[in-house]
Amino acid sequence: MRTQVCIVGGGPSGLLLAQLLHRAGIDNVLLEKHSRAYVLGRIRAGVLEHGFARLMQEAGCGERMAREGQVHHGFWIARDGRLERVDLHKHSGGGSVIVYGQTELTRDLYEARERMGGTVLHEAEAVALEGLTTERPSVVYRKDGRTERVECEFVIGADGFHGVCRRAIPAGALREYERTYPFGWLGVLSRTPPVSPELIYVKHARGFALCSLRSNVLSRYYIQVPLSDRIEDWPDEAFWEELKRRLPADVAARLVTGPAIEKSIAPLRAYVAEPMRYGRLFLAGDAAHIVPPTGARGLNSAASDLYYLSRALIAWYRDRDASGLDGYSARALARVWKAQRFSWWMTMLLHEFPETSAYERRLQEAELDYLFSSERALGALAENYVGLPY
């Protein structure tokens, strides 16, 4: 099989890039190692920048998001039993975010691929990349017991942190930066009305908590837990009791509980690989960088990669202009590191660390006091939360 661009990874990043390129007349093939049902079954965050929403519109698959997505103009931080609001609209000069479940977003992208006749090859196993430093790289994979090959001009690695694409780059050609945090987030999805129409971030001596939502009848809650904890340690009743302990009393009193329809523990990690290009291979999204979910930057950081990369490839195929491709890694990483900084700051501000001293805990309190006493500090928080410009 021959194509212009081979995209490895059929999550929202790979699907969105495939759509953007397809609409620009650039032929592409997308490989995904899992089934479509598996991809749609993954539960992920859904706080999106308007820049991401604009890319969805550009890709021809943003109508349902525009119709059903919830625009949020602020969020809450709970501490010492009280709530304080961050007014995103006021402090970012009119900005906001969109709450729209990633599963629904991925479904929209799949349906758009089908309408346009795009090629998505599921259950492509044993993927290997060849000839990345040549003008005709190829991607080899196995499907239905047969070995297949995609010959292309560019390979895009959108296959996540554990994918094969980044590992195809020789060790000496890649610099890696990583921080692992000594705790995780236990998340529960429940078919219950959300406790608040806006997100609540909780700073508590027992650990961080987050109240979020997917819709008016679907809620997502998280609590900070040690990495040694297992799902089996947290039956539903224990989860709800612990969440209530960390919430302000009036919020806990109105919390509606119910059976968990999905439960998972996600370790917190920060990671960046540099550069995001090797020959004809370009990395995007989690394949190149991940952030703790505290600042809602994960998928939004991927979106900026896709913005830069789609424009670079379009310029190459329309005008043979290589400047965007040559500058892709530097441009993408400049924004990635700003997202890393913001996620690190939010994580350090709101979590309880096992080794935190009394002095450091007082610094956290002072930082929160300063935040809510300074219009400029709130402005910096709001500017980063709604999304820095591409």
Please write the tens of the pLDDT for every residue from 284-321: 999 999 999 998 888 899 999 999 999 999 999 999 99
What CA–CA distance (Å, rounded) separates 377 from 383?
Answer: 10
Task: State residue 38's pLDDT score.
Answer: 81
> Is 77 part of a structural domain of the chain?
no
What CA–CA distance (Å, rounded) separates 312 from 295?
Answer: 28
Same domain, 315 and 358: no
Same domain, 23 and 111: yes
> Is 225 part of a structural domain of the chain?
yes
In tens, the pLDDT along 143-179 reads 999 999 999 999 999 999 999 999 999 989 999 999 9
Parts of the chain with a pLDDT under 50 = none
> Is 145 part of a structural domain of the chain?
yes
> Is 91 part of a structural domain of the chain?
no
Same domain, 232 and 308: no
Task: State residue 233's pLDDT score.
Answer: 97
Task: State residue 45's pLDDT score.
Answer: 65
295: CATH: 3.50.50.60
- How many H-runs (helices) and E-runs (strands) does the chain carry? 12, 20
Same domain, 226 and 329: no
Same domain, 170 and 240: no
Tokens of 210: 């987050």
> Is 80 part of a structural domain of the chain?
no
Query: Would you give the DSSP letter of residue 228?
Result: T
Task: State residue 44's pLDDT score.
Answer: 67
> Which residues are paired to 125 by β-bridges?
142
Q: How many domains does the chain have?
A: 2
What CA–CA distance (Å, rounded) separates 390 from 58?
Answer: 15
Task: State residue 298's pLDDT score.
Answer: 86
Q: State the sign of the Cα–Cα–Cα–Cα dihedral 129, 133, 134, 135.
A: positive
What CA–CA distance (Å, rounded) separates 217 from 61?
Answer: 24
Same domain, 165 and 246: no
> Is 57 part of a structural domain of the chain?
yes
Same domain, 224 and 322: no
CA proximity to 275, closest of 264, 266, 283, 285: 283
119-130 residues labelled b (16+ CB within 10 A) or e (exposed): bbbbebeebebe
Same domain, 366 and 237: yes
> Is 39 part of a structural domain of the chain?
yes
Same domain, 34 and 145: yes
Task: State residue 43's pLDDT score.
Answer: 63
What CA–CA distance (Å, rounded) separates 303 from 13?
Answer: 7
Same domain, 144 and 59: yes
Same domain, 221 and 167: no
379: CATH: 3.30.9.10
Give the structural domain span for 205: 181-268+353-386
> Is 185 part of a structural domain of the chain?
yes
Same domain, 244 and 366: yes
